[in-house]
Structure 1
Amino acid sequence: MWMTCNYGAVLTSYALYRTLERMGKKVSLLDFSYTDRQKDACTVFRKFLAQEKLSIIPMHNLDHAYYMNDHFDTFMVGSDQVWNPGFLGSLFFLDFAKGEKRKIAYGPSMARHDKPSERYLRKISGLLKRFDAISVREQGMVDHLRKYFGCDSTWVMDPVFLHSREQWLKLAQPAEGAGNSVVSYILDPTESKRKLLLDISSRLEAPLLNMVDIQKKEINNRELLNLPGTMEEATLNDWLGNIAHCKYFITDSYHGVCFALIFNKPFICIDNPLRGSGRFISLLELLHLRDRMLPEHADRIPDGTSLEMNYETINQILQAHMEQSGQWLLDALSKKRPEALEHYNRSTEKKLTRKPPTRWQLMKRKGKRLLIKVYHRLVRR
């Protein structure tokens, strides 16, 4: 969901795009923007994508996705919480892709790991069986998919780790003073987080440089954080540069943690259950860094918490898992399709592939909308 005006969402999609290019593929992002904010060419997010010359294909509506079958031989659903049941129905399970098209999932999340409804299970299980290869971003999702959906998957690293530190540094442009500052990126400001930032700033005797989520114009997170040194609207180059060059980093963002690790920065992260704790825990436990995550309402650093980090072992673990993840993706793009999968896709083509509505179905939709309008007018009278 790269179009959602969120730093992590754009950069994880950018990283996967560039990785696929390095593997010799011609790549495009399908654009399902549905709000004016997401479509606005003047946002820092759209400007970044234009600056980097990424190929983007706008979709007039979700039904239009079916016609992409005429232009691509492989469809891939990327990382982040694209398999969250609340997001755009079954679009991110590639329900529009024809049976003969290669389908790959690289690192999606579901956010929730409780038992889905029987209706959801039936529909999604069938769509998952159409995939050529499935990987997930959290270790817990491997068991979840096997238990409820009868689906095998592989645990991989978020795409941002497939793009090297050197490549990210080429994009990083720090704000003035970032090198001597405690830099923060806060998605959901609270009074406890505000106090925590001030506590760390005081302990390190360093000024604060704060960045906030700017996804929704109607929510002023800068005002909610209410701290000096908070940027109005960081560009993506600012965002990367401030993390890469800071003295210390604090965040309640999963991708904030990822980039602190990529740039080898000492950091503390704050649990964010609203947006999903599992992704933090999965990554931090892999790297033996569970102690770097504070509870959601922490307002100060616990006594005895080290503000320094040794990255030698961390980098060794990261490197091994990055290589495994890159190899998984390369194999998924090149391996021969099993005959059983070919047969399943042919036999379920008509049932599972969502096609554009017929003329009669469009007339029914218009008629239904008209009846709803008439009903509401009558009720108001």
Structure 2
Amino acid sequence: MKIGILTQPLHNNYGGLLQAYALQHYLKQQGHIAITIDFKKIYKPKLWGIKGITINFIKKYILRQNIPSILPLNEKKISQHTAKFISRNIERTQEITNPNQLKILSQYKFDAYIVGSDQVWRPAYSPGISAFFLDFLGNDTTTKRIAYAASFGINNCDEFSTEELTKYSLLAKKFHAIGVREDSAVNLCKNHFEVEAIQVLDPTLLLNKNDYINLIADDLPQPFTCDMLVYVLDKSMEKNKVINVVSQKLKLEPYDFLENNIDNIYASVAKWLKSFSSTSFVVTDSFHGVVFSIIFNKPFIAIGNKDRGLARFTSLLKLFGLENRLITSLDEFDSDILNIPIDYTKVNEILNKEQKKSMNFLQKALNDK
């Protein structure tokens, strides 16, 4: 079967790149032709002056946001490693920069479209969200419409207008099967879109640890290890205090992955993976940071990231019985948790069971008439 995958734009987001890679790789393993639709937004260059630099200075040094530089950066230069990963590992359609151009996909003659993963059904994260409900297929009733691990990111639909809920409810009813990533999304689909959905795994969890080790071996010839991995997307003084407590109590040297980017160039995906596979402990506020801690069976502390979507964390950790690894503030952090090992025998048993469920969902969705 020839399948078009529609997900968030491929950029410098490690988790976003790896979920896109994982779904395509898995589908190809099953004998399908899978191509990711290169749907992206073209950003207009900012007018850089004193005002722009001042704003970025405040964001970086006062608000402690993860901004590589207060000055404009060469996008091609800082993305050279992630662009290489995309080029080598993700087969794509021609570039599409406007939802109106999606109609040209008819030339690919896809038998099915799979929407997902990541927060494709969150308006704040998806300016062209109608595309993720496959509105460009119009009245086409022969092409299969499937959602796999589609995510709202949050546990409500408050970001949708009443008109949007009505519109997308009609489009959702045209889907042949809907799999969502968070448990709360099952109810959102039922209550707001009047469709049935089941919870499935993030695509990265369809692959096993060895699949990612092979990616590392293919692209990271130099040895690399880190004592305690810090992968924090949104810096704050409170998060720094958590990192310091963990470091001191475990007597581990923290390695801040993003702070160690050379010349503000994003490190390779292979190095990102290697940092998880080689570390002794992980502190992260990233959803996929938690996912890859689990994949590589690493002890971790997850700092809930409300703005980026807390439901993603709570749903994932609840699934694996790891809710005690999540904190949302320094006041919640009991350092005694650092002395409690994660039972990865039990976690891996749950993962194997959920993998079978998710794989069966995809197989049934693609094969049913």
Shift of 1:310: 2.2
Amino acid at match of 2:254: L
Shift of 1:32: 2.0
DSSP-derived class of the 1:265 partner: coil
Match in the other structure for 1:375: none
Q: Is 1:285 aligned with 2:323?
A: no
Q: Do the aligned residues in 1 keep the contact of 2:231 with 2:283 (CA within 8 Å)?
A: yes
1:142 corresponds to which of 176, 186, 195: 186
Amino acid at match of 2:293: A
Tell me how far apart the structure 1 counterparts of residues 199 and 85 of structure 2 sit (CA, whole Å).
30
Tell me how far apart the structure 2 counterparts of residues 230 and 55 of structure 1 sit (CA, whole Å).
27
Q: Do the aligned residues in 2 keep the contact of 1:209 with 1:230 (CA within 8 Å)?
A: no
Shift of 1:38: 11
Match in the other structure for 1:187: 233
Structure 2: gaps of 5 or more residues: 1-7, 44-72
1:280-302 CA deviation, whole Å, 9 max, x = no partner? 11111111110000124459653
Q: Is 1:159 aligned with 2:206?
A: no
Match in the other structure for 1:83: 121
Q: Which moved more, 1:33-42 or 1:116-125?
A: 33-42
Amino acid at match of 1:57: Q
1:267 corresponds to which of 280, 288, 300: 300
Q: Is 1:103 aligned with 2:110?
A: no
DSSP-derived class of the 1:83 partner: coil
Q: Is 1:127 aligned with 2:171?
A: yes
Change (3 A) 1:248 1:97: same
Shift of 1:140: 0.8
DSSP-derived class of the 2:146 partner: strand
Match in the other structure for 2:270: 237
Match in the other structure for 1:64: 101
Change (3 A) 1:40 1:103: farther
Match in the other structure for 2:112: 74
Q: Is 1:249 aligned with 2:298?
A: no
2:214 corresponds to which of 145, 170, 175: 170
Change (3 A) 1:38 1:335: farther
Tell me how far apart the structure 2 counterparts of residues 334 and 134 of structure 1 sit (CA, whole Å).
14
Match in the other structure for 2:353: 320
DSSP-derived class of the 1:250 partner: strand
1:4-62 CA deviation, whole Å, 9 max, x = no partner? 32111111010001011111111111112224699848532211011226234211422
Q: Do the aligned residues in 2 keep the contact of 1:199 with 1:301 (CA within 8 Å)?
A: no
Shift of 1:2: 4.0
Amino acid at match of 1:197: I
1:246-269 CA deviation, whole Å, 9 max, x = no partner? 011110000010011011011111
Match in the other structure for 2:162: 118
Shift of 1:200: 1.3
Q: Do the aligned residues in 2 keep the contact of 1:254 with 1:279 (CA within 8 Å)?
A: yes
Tell me how far apart the structure 2 counterparts of residues 192 and 91 of structure 1 sit (CA, whole Å).
38
Shift of 1:164: 1.4
1:82-139 CA deviation, whole Å, 9 max, x = no partner? 0002312311111112412111100111123145432112100111011111110001
Match in the other structure for 1:348: none
DSSP-derived class of the 1:105 partner: strand
DSSP-derived class of the 1:28 partner: strand
Tell me how far apart the structure 1 counterparts of residues 17 and 312 of structure 2 sit (CA, whole Å).
18
Shift of 1:166: 0.8
Amino acid at match of 2:131: L
1:47 corresponds to which of 75, 79, 84: 84
Change (3 A) 1:91 1:53: closer
Q: Do the aligned residues in 2 keep the contact of 1:29 with 1:55 (CA within 8 Å)?
A: yes
**In terms of Rg, which structure is larger?**
1
Change (3 A) 1:300 1:134: closer
Change (3 A) 1:15 1:93: same
Match in the other structure for 1:373: none
Tell me how far apart the structure 2 counterparts of residues 142 and 258 of structure 1 sit (CA, whole Å).
20
Change (3 A) 1:194 1:169: same
Identity, in percent, stands at: 31
Q: Is 1:93 aligned with 2:133?
A: yes
Amino acid at match of 1:126: L
Q: Do the aligned residues in 2 keep the contact of 1:273 with 1:296 (CA within 8 Å)?
A: no
Tell me how far apart the structure 2 counterparts of residues 264 and 89 of structure 1 sit (CA, whole Å).
35
Q: CA RMSD in A?
A: 2.3
Tell me how far apart the structure 2 counterparts of residues 297 and 334 of structure 1 sit (CA, whole Å).
48
Shift of 1:317: 0.6
Match in the other structure for 1:204: 250
TM-score (norm 1): 0.78
DSSP-derived class of the 1:13 partner: helix
DSSP-derived class of the 1:75 partner: strand
DSSP-derived class of the 2:94 partner: strand
Shift of 1:305: 4.1
Summarize the alignment of residues 352-363 of structure 1 with structure 2, pairs less than 5 Å apart.
none
DSSP-derived class of the 1:319 partner: helix
Match in the other structure for 1:344: none
Q: Do the aligned residues in 2 keep the contact of 1:184 with 1:249 (CA within 8 Å)?
A: yes
Structure 1: gaps of 5 or more residues: 213-221, 223-228, 337-381
1:25 corresponds to which of 32, 36, 43: 32
